[in-house]
Amino acid sequence: MKFLQEKFTELKTKFYPWVRWFLNLSLYWKVGFIIGSCFFINFFIALYFYLLFYHVVNLQTKIPYNYELLTSKALTYLEKKKPSSNPYNLKVNLEKILHELEGVKEKYPQITPQVEKIEKIISQTSSYQYNTKTIKLLEKQFLELNKFFSNERNILENKIKKYKEISKYFQIVLILTMLAFLIWGTWSFYYMVKKPLDSIVERLDFLTEEKGEGELKSLKACILEYSAKDEIGKVINKVNEILTESNAIRLFKRTIENDESVEMVYERLGYYLQHMVGIGSFIIFEVSNSQNTMQAVYVSDPNLDYSSEIILNPDKCRAKRTGQIVTSINIPNICKVFPFKTTKEHYCIPMMYGGKCIGVIGIYLPKEELFNKSEIIKKKLKKAHTFIKETIPVIEAKRYAEALKEQTFRDALTGLYNRHFLEATLDKLVAQILRRESILGVLMCDLDYFKSINDKYGHDAGDIVLKETAKLLVSNVRKSDLVVRFGGEEFLILLVDVKKGESMRVADKLRSIIETHEFKIPQGGIKRTISIGVSEFPIDTGAIWEAIKFADVALYKAKELGRNKVVRFKREFWTEENY
């Protein structure tokens, strides 16, 4: 058994390269080979049958029926003709038979002795001398001739019979051969043409259906396997490429649609362009048309640089201004602010939505690659276009959603976060404070005698004071701190990760800044003071809303003490059980 396996492996190793060579041939040659094989096999079989038939017919014509009958006829004459009969008729009949036998001596040289003896006897015997002895001599010679022709006939008939028997078996062989080639041709056509094409149609149908995320991830299992490199193989490779790209694009789109923020979408787009498409150097710029600003939101390589001119003035970016692809590959030096003109070429794609540019992707290409790998780069850029096209509407939708959310969470007058935002984010902030085991300073601020401003100068002046106060508070705390308009002239400030007691220092600094600031209103300059109540979480309490209430209680204590003061919450300020 082991020996047979080794032999089979040896034969497989020997013939496999030839099989691979045949499978990799063009479909034209493979189908031609199948058709040609069927044609030539059937041609040779038909030719064989034709030659066999021709040979049988030829043998049939060679059978000496006439000469056997002639000799039998001669023997009959000799038997009937007694000496008393008319000898003249006998001699005439025998001479006629002899004349015909003379004509076949060349064909059958074996009969020459007998024919010559018969001729000699007839020539030496007159018409009236056919006695019994002469007739017996003639009978002997004609009998030998008859036996010879009978033997020749039997030999040829046996040959014909043998050929007929062979032809019967060969008919079966012919039918089996034709059936085998029919099966082989059908099998080859099915496996080389029909089955792959059916698989392609099946996969394309699968591709056009809506898929869930699980199905998209399993699309790799649906990739067609076809090892031959013929026309069908090329088509299948193209279909596999389309399936793979479509799977990647659909999965990418579904993923970014579920991403939480625009920033995550930019990160994911950058990752896909870098790792899936294979673009090494690029920058994603975000454009704010309302503010006429442009900023880099993703840089693939920290060493990449870009002109500060387009940040300060986005219209300096030709792709943003025109809404068209701008590349130095076709038109050198088309971009005046591109920083790598000597070593790289650029390919800038504007992200257009609703006739407006919402971003620009600047792709940097090394100049040497454009000459050595131009076709590969074209494919990469084409693939990049596909991912960018799918990203644009998602980015715009998320930006719009964030704008609406921002409007919901922002105070329209001051631009500060409002109580809705506080309620939505406070739990997360508290969790971070507790996880880091740090302190959250809570400052409740209220402008002193604010109502008098509205009464004396009007609500427009009051609005100006509120806006100015908001700006002063925001600009004098850290970016990590949170300033909220809590209601009316009240502001809540949350100081993140402060040291114990530091909240009082910050509060007093803010109080001093407000006290010394002059508010500009249409009627002139006015001054106001601010009262601040301070509590610290989780030092004063383990409940954040209770800490806010404690800061509010401390604020009212500051008001009682004459305003323009900072008061730290103490337990004796709170006499109620519930806040």
Run of H or E residues at 575? none
CA distances for 297 relative to 39, 258, 294, angstroms: 69, 19, 9
Catalytic entry in 489, 560, 576, 577: 489
Quick one: which of 334, 332, 330 has its CA closest to 319?
Answer: 334
553 vs 319: CA distance, rounded Å: 57
DSSP string computed for 211-277: --HHHHHGGGGG-------SHHHHHHHHHHHHHHHHHHHHHHHHHHHH-SSHHHHHHHHHHIIIIII
Quick one: which of 98, 79, 77, 99 has its CA closest to 88?
Answer: 77
The tokens describing 2, both together, are 């082991």
- What is the DSSP code (8-state) at residue 111? G
DSSP string computed for 504-546: HHHHHHHHHHHHH-EEEETTEEEE--EEEEEEEETTT-S-HHH
User: Do 115 and 102 form a contact (C-beta atoms < 8 A)?
Assistant: yes
Q: Answer yes or no: 489 catalytic.
A: yes
- The three-state secondary structure class of 107 is coil
Query: How do 293-299 and 566-568 pair as beta strands?
Result: unpaired
CB 28: neighbour CB atoms within 10 A?
A: 10
Burial bucket for residue 557 (CB in 10 Å: 0-12, 13-18, 19+): middle
DSSP string computed for 406-420: HHHHB-TTT--B-HH
294 vs 44: CA distance, rounded Å: 81
CB 328: neighbour CB atoms within 10 A?
A: 19
Is the bond preceding 302 in cis, omega lying within 30 degrees of 0? Answer: no
User: Do 148 and 111 form a contact (C-beta atoms < 8 A)?
Assistant: yes
- The three-state secondary structure class of 293 is strand
Residues in Cβ contact with 482 at an 8 Å cutoff, skipping those fewer than 6 apart: 417, 422, 429, 493, 494, 496
Q: Which residues are annotated as catalytic? A: 489
